[in-house]
Homo-oligomer: A and B are copies of this chain.
Amino acid sequence: VNDALCATLVAVDWGTSHLRVWALGPGGDVVAEHKSDEGMGSTARERFDDILESHLGAMSVPTGIPVIMCGMVGSRQGWAEAGYLPIPADLREIAANAVRIPGCARDIRILPGLSKNVPENPDVMRGEETQLIGLTRTAPVESGETRVVCMPGTHSKWVHMTGERVEDFASFMTGDMFSALAAHSVLRHSLSEDRVDHASSAFLDAVRASLVSPSDISARIFSIRPAGLLQNPEPSTARAKLSGYLIGQEIAGAKSRFPVPAMIDLVGGGVLGALYEAALSVASVTCRVHDGDRVVRAGLIDAASVIWKTESA
């Protein structure tokens, strides 16, 4: 008796550094789940099929069950290029632009991303657009109502929407910058391995400093090093400051790009979500928090229902 034999759909979120596979029942309930670090960033093109089938085989998913995927697996360097829809875009157009992987016995579709092709500050997203579809299903707003969505990560996304329409978005390389500076700048001598406490004054004061004075971020970040030389701080302080300065800078940047309302949607829980929620509260912004896995599954299920309902019609 294997639950995955009851699966009617497989939903896959295949990013640069992670792979998540869910076998889903008729109501969208998760009957089996696999998570791995076989991200597309470390996967050669001819290996995608084998990796996916190894998970589906282990979950006993029959070949007739369709697979819907989102994430970097649809990039030019991925399994098959699924392109980008230019914004402003209606999220209901995403499913209609899915790409079927050629030459596979199994019916596998990859959803496209979104792009903002403007001369200044062009941008792309891939994977988050599917979370946005899910958000419109699990936490809908009225069709004319605007909302701002914050999606923290290596390249955090901020999205300005009206109903199901993405008006504008911007990516902030906060997580990527944190990792590069923590490991490969002079700050590597200052940072301990302590986890950042979202309630610590070191973190919250750092967020506030970047909100108040965003111009001089590259001086403020440097000051972490001399603080260590001159002031004998707690070992955990340096990492909390770097995190707070960068997240504060991101919020200041988002405020300069969009009208950020007093209540926004925050996608992603856990440690990072708690840091963003605390940082946003310093900026007098409160959050509706949404689990990232839950909204991406909801988005994949919604897109699948459009794709296969349309084709069988």
Q: Nearest B residue to A124 by beta-carbon distance? A: B226
Are A176 and B172 closer than 8 Å at their CB atoms? no
Is A123 part of the binding interface, using a Cβ–Cβ cutoff of 8 Å?
Answer: yes
Are A255 and B209 closer than 8 Å at their CB atoms? no
Q: A122-B226, A226-B122 are in contact. Are A172 and B219 (CB under 8 A)?
A: yes
Are B253 and A215 closer than 8 Å at their CB atoms? yes
Q: Bound state CA distance, A172 and B221, in angstroms?
A: 8
Q: Bound state CA distance, A209 and B124, in angstroms?
A: 20
A218-245 interface (Cβ within 8 A of B): 218-223, 226-227, 229-231
A interface bracket (residues with beta carbon within 8 Å of B): 35 or more
Q: Which of A6-14, A178-186, A277-285 has 4 or more CB atoms under 8 Å from chain B?
A: A178-186
Are B173 and A177 closer than 8 Å at their CB atoms? no
Cβ contacts under 8 Å, A177 to chain B: 181, 185, 218, 221
Is A130 part of the binding interface, using a Cβ–Cβ cutoff of 8 Å?
Answer: no
Interface string of A251-270 (1 = CB under 8 A from B): 01111110000000000000
The 9 closest A-B pairs by CB, nearest first: A216-B253, A214-B215, A215-B256, A173-B222, A180-B184, A121-B223, A180-B180, A124-B226, A215-B252
